[in-house]
Amino acid sequence: MIRLENISRTFFVGGRPVHALRKVSFSIAEGEYVTIMGASGSGKSTLLNILGCLDRPNAGRYFLDGREVGGMKDEELAAVRGHKIGFVFQAFHLVPRLTALENVELPMVFAGAERGARRRAAQKALETVGLADRAEHRPNQLSGGERQRVAIARSIVMKPAILLADEPTGNLDSRTGLEVIALLEKLNTSGMTLVIVTHDPKLGSRAPHLIRLSDGRVIEDVFPKGAVTAKRSINRAGERADENVAD
Amino acid sequence: MKGRDLLRLAYGGFRGHRLRTLLSVLGVSAGIAAVVVLTSLGSAARDYITREFLSLGTNLLIVLPGKTETTGMVPVIGGVPHELTLEDAEYLERNLRSVKRMTPVVLGSARARHRNRARNVTVVGTSETFREVNGLTVARGIFLPRRVARKHEPVCVLGATVARELFGRENPLNQFVRVGGFRFRVIGVTAPRGMMLGADLDEMIEVPTRSAMKLFNRRGLFRLLIELKNEEAIPFVRRDVARLIKERHEGEEDITVFTQDALLATFGKILDAVTAALSAIAAISLAVAGIGIMNVMLVAVSERRNEIGLMKALGATRNQVTALFLTEAALLGGFGGAAGILFGTAACRVFTRIYPDFPVSPPLWAVAAAAFVALGVGAFFGGYPARKAARLDPVAALRSRG
């Protein structure tokens, strides 16, 4: 589903190159639960932005469902972000003037969905995160944990294949953080690919697939529990098939 | 993105910035109000003048003594233009075809007195046709009969104001008014008519042309109005007038013939120039308002960088972000336009109340144009901020505080 080949990303700060990512390669199969770990400045957020098609690498190739993202135009990228990927941010990023329901609806607004369908989908997403009774609340009337759950509802309202979470517990206390993680894991077991970026080792140990970054390089890409599901291996095979076709 | 959602999202952007929004809307409304008022004044002036000319009767030729353009000849003795006399008028009347009526006019100012009351009046030497041409009606008595124009006869018709001020509640008919050195018998009083091309017809006294010439000791006419039977005759009659006058004035064509159309066209040109100048002023105020919108939108874009990054992460395309901010700017313009049209219309109402003779009301096209311009100003000056928003790097935008 996701395959990176020698992805490099270099920023220029004051005319000097800063190598945020250096020749990063790995793959993530459909339905996986991956944690990307690393110290601050290791390049993990940059990596997540590239995975989310918010940023483009300077070199290397990124295949999403067998299609190379590098050649896509703005419109296609927006469609990928809208339909295929759900974002969960550390700072929630809810629009303060909109209600919880309207915030959840937002991706469907950009996708041009009908009002009725939107309402139903948003309501259902709020139910999934257990906040159906908070639909008409504005973000400032919600607790931190509730805000993050609204943000999660928003990330799944388009039924994306991939959930990307950037330090989703960073602004929460450990108990609500754990609740949020549990919610994300529940969504993963229902079939969504989950990628969490964190510097918290406790979270990292929960995921079956761990990718560790340091100084812009992958220093570890392991399955600590050794559990490779049947689904994953099938997908790997499928991807290999795709490659053969592409070659 | 659906149009209604776009509007709702854009409108939502004003929440929390009510004062800022209100101020920029006020800026636009001032500009639009200026446009509405100025175009209304321009069109009211045009209507006013057209109406005045139409009441003069159509197919009118106006003959003035003297030539308005220079001949380039050195003025020797006898180079002074001949006056246009009553005899000239009679000669024209005898020799022209297609003439419906001819009105020689002499104009002067004199003191009119009845017993101990006196006032300055405008004396018009004319005949029956003056009444017809100016749409005057007689309230009492009769107007100057046609036949008396050519000879001196000491009779007069009073304008409504003159009659009231000299006679009060008395019946002026058959009483005498002393004008200059002459005594005139009042044979009629005209009904109030009001202003006509800047002259108050109610403050005039009409006397036979010949009498006015005697009164002012003058040989020449002020002007000669020739009304034709049909419009087609205008060029021929015009040419004939020039030819006949030339015959009588020793080969000199020392008159100027205007048509009503030409006068209207001249006024039209002046009005156009004035309107253009006023529009330019209005355009400046609109440009200032537009810059205000641009400023507000730039602030909005930098304040909502975060939100723009989020929208992009949620699948908004560049075009959608552009559309959102453009709509916001156009809404500012639109609200400003609506308020401006209201203010402008109110100003016109007030103006009309103060000057009832000069009714000013915004023409529909001006209102429509103002609304269109307001939206256009918003969209034009919102264009740069909107493009700026669309070009924001989502990663950087999401990272920014706010």
More confident residue, A225 or A9: A9
With beta carbons under 8 A apart, name residues in chain A contacting B398.
54, 89, 93
Angle at B275 between CA B274 and CA B279, to 5 degrees: 120
Q: Give the span between the Cα atoms of B35 and B383, in whole angstroms.
A: 23
Q: Does B395 touch chain A (CB under 8 A)?
A: yes
CB pair distance less than 8 Å for B394 and A54: yes
Task: Give the tokens for residue A52.
Answer: 């989310």
A vs B: CB pairs below 8 A: 67
B24 to chain A nearest CA, in Å?
21
Q: Would you state the pLDDT for residue B55?
A: 64
3-class SS at A20? Answer: strand
- Partner residue facing A98 (CB), from B12, B313, B318: B12
Q: Is A87 on the interface with B (CB under 8 A)?
A: yes
Contacts of B1 in chain A (CB under 8 A): 109-110, 112
Chain B: closest CA distance from residue A153 (Å): 12
Total number of residues shown for chain B: 402
Closest CA to B394 of A211, A48, A135: A48
Asked if A72 reaches chain B (Cβ–Cβ under 8 Å), the answer is: no
Give me the pLDDT at residue B288, please: 87
Closest Cα of chain B to A110: distance in Å?
A: 5
- Assess contact for B83 and B67: CB atoms under 8 A: no
CB A179 within 8 A of CB A145: yes
At residue A70, does pLDDT exceed 90? no
Chain A residues touching residue B318 (CB < 8 angstroms): 74, 78
| Residue B2 touches chain A, beta carbons under 8 Å | yes
How far apart CA B103 and CA B56 sit, in angstroms, is 12
Q: Token digits for A195?
A: 């990628």
Backbone torsions φ then ψ of A106, nearest 5 degrees: -50, -50
In chain B, the largest separation of any two C-alpha atoms, in whole Å, equals 99
- Asked if A126 and A150 touch (Cβ cutoff 8 Å), the reply is yes
Q: Give SS3 for A42.
A: coil
Cα(A33)–Cα(A227) distance, integer angstroms: 11
Q: CB distance from A111 to chain B under 8 Å?
A: yes
Q: How far apart are the first and last CA of chain A?
A: 17
Instruction: Tell whether the model's pLDDT for residue A198 goes beyond 70.
Output: yes
Phi, psi (degrees; rounded to nearest 5) at B114: -135, 115
Q: Tell me, what's the pLDDT at A237?
A: 43
**C-beta atoms of B16 and A97 within 8 A:** yes
Distance CA B378, CA B334 (A): 7
A165 and chain B in contact, CB less than 8 A: no
Question: What amino acid is encoded at B250 in this protein?
Answer: E
Q: Is the pLDDT of residue A228 over 60?
A: no
Q: What is the DSSP letter of A99?
A: -
Six token digits for residue A242: 């795709």
B40 and B340 Cβ atoms separated by less than 8 Å: no
Which one of B1, B307, B313 has the shortest CB-CB distance to A109? Answer: B1
> Nearest CA of chain A to the CA of B26: how many Å?
24
What whole-number distance in Å separates Cα of residue A204 and Cα of residue A201?
A: 5
Across the range A166-172, mean pLDDT stands at 92
What pLDDT sits at residue B59?
78
Write b or e for each residue in B109-133: b if 16 or more Cβ atoms lie within 10 A of its Cβ, otherwise e.
ebebbbeeeeeebbbbbbbbbbbeb
pLDDT in the model for residue B111: 92
Query: Contact at 8 Å (CB) between B323 and B379?
Result: no
3-state secondary structure of A147: helix
Where residue A150 falls among pLDDT bands split at 50, 70, 90? very high
Q: How many CB atoms within 10 Å of residue A160?
A: 21
- Mean pLDDT (chain A, rounded): 89
The more confidently predicted of residues A205 and B349 is B349
Pairwise CB contact (< 8 Å): B314 & A75: no
Contact B1/A at CB under 8 A: yes
What are the phi and psi torsion angles at B189 (to 5°)? -130, 130
Query: What percent of chain A has pLDDT above 70?
Result: 91
CA distance B108 to B376: 55
Angle formed by the axes of helices A74-83 and A100-110, to 10°? 140
Across residues A131-154, what is the average pLDDT? 95
How far B367 CA lies from chain A's nearest CA (Å)?
34
For residue A98, the distance in angstroms to the closest alpha carbon of chain B comes to 8
Residue of B nearest to A106 (CA): B314
Identify all chain B residues contacting A197, using CB atoms and an 8 Å cutoff.
none
| pLDDT tens across the length of chain B (402 residues) | 788 888 888 888 888 788 889 998 998 899 899 888 888 888 888 888 777 776 666 678 888 887 655 444 444 444 456 788 888 888 888 888 888 888 888 989 999 999 889 999 999 988 887 887 777 888 888 888 776 566 788 899 999 999 999 998 889 999 999 998 899 999 999 988 877 666 788 889 999 988 898 899 888 888 888 888 887 888 888 888 888 888 888 887 788 888 877 777 888 888 888 888 888 888 888 888 889 899 999 999 998 899 999 999 999 999 999 999 999 999 999 999 999 999 999 999 999 999 887 888 888 888 888 888 889 888 899 999 999 999 999 988 888 764
With an 8 Å Cβ cutoff, is A33 touching chain B? no
* Min Cα–Cα distance to chain B from A215, Å: 20
Residues belonging to chain A: 247
In this predicted complex, what is the ipTM? 0.87
| For testing contact with chain B, the best of A110, A114, A197 (most B CBs within 10 A) | A110
Selected for mutation to probe chain A from B14, B21, B314 (highest A CB count within 10 Å) is: B314
Please compute the mean of the pLDDT values over residues A20-42 and round it to a whole number: 93
Q: Please name the residues between 304 and 323 in chain B that touch chain A, using a CB distance below 8 Å.
A: 306-307, 309-320
* Displacement of CA B265 from its chain's centroid (Å): 12
Give CA–CA dist A103/A94, Å, rounded.
Answer: 6
Q: What's the token pair of residue A203?
A: 């979270």
| Structure tokens given for B133 | 């041409």
**And the tokens for B321?**
């972000």
Q: Which residues of A touch B324 (CB under 8 A)?
A: none
β-strands B255-259, B60-65 pairing: antiparallel
Q: Encoding tokens for residue B148?
A: 């008396």
For residue A118, list its beta bridge partners.
none
Sign of CA dihedral B83, B86, B87, B92: positive
User: How close is the nearest chain A Cα to the Cα of B340, in Å?
Assistant: 29
Kindly report the three-state secondary structure assignment for every residue of chain B.
CCHHHHHHHHHHCCCCCHHHHHHHHHHHHHHHHHHHHHHHHHHHHHHHHHHHHHHCCCCEEEEEECCCCCCCCCCCCCCCCCCCEHHHHHHHHHHCCCEEEEEEEEEEEEEEEECCEEEEEEEEEECHHHHHHHCCCEEEECCCCHHHHHCCCCEEEECHHHHHHHHCCCCCCCCEEEECCEEEEEEEEECCCCEECCEEHHHEEEEEHHHHHHHCCCCECCEEEEEECCHHHHHHHHHHHHHHHHHHCCCCCCEEEEEHHHHHHHHHHHHHHHHHHHHHHHHHHHHHHHHHHHHHHHHHHHHCHHHHHHHHHCCCCHHHHHHHHHHHHHHHHHHHHHHHHHHHHHHHHHHHHHCCCCCCCCCHHHHHHHHHHHHHHHHHHHHHHHHHHHHCCHHHHHHCCC
Residue with tokens 């999934």: A128
Percentage of chain A exceeding pLDDT 90: 77
Binary contact (B313, A97; C-beta < 8 A): no
Please report the domains of chain A, with CATH numbers, ordered by start residue.
32-56+72-223 (3.40.50.300)
Is B315 close to A110, i.e. CB distance below 8 A? yes
Q: Which of A46, A54, A60 is nearest to A18 (CA)?
A: A46
Question: Which pLDDT score, from 0 to 100, does residue B93 have?
Answer: 85
A74 at interface of B, judged by CB pairs closer than 8 A: yes
**What is the pLDDT at residue B58?**
66
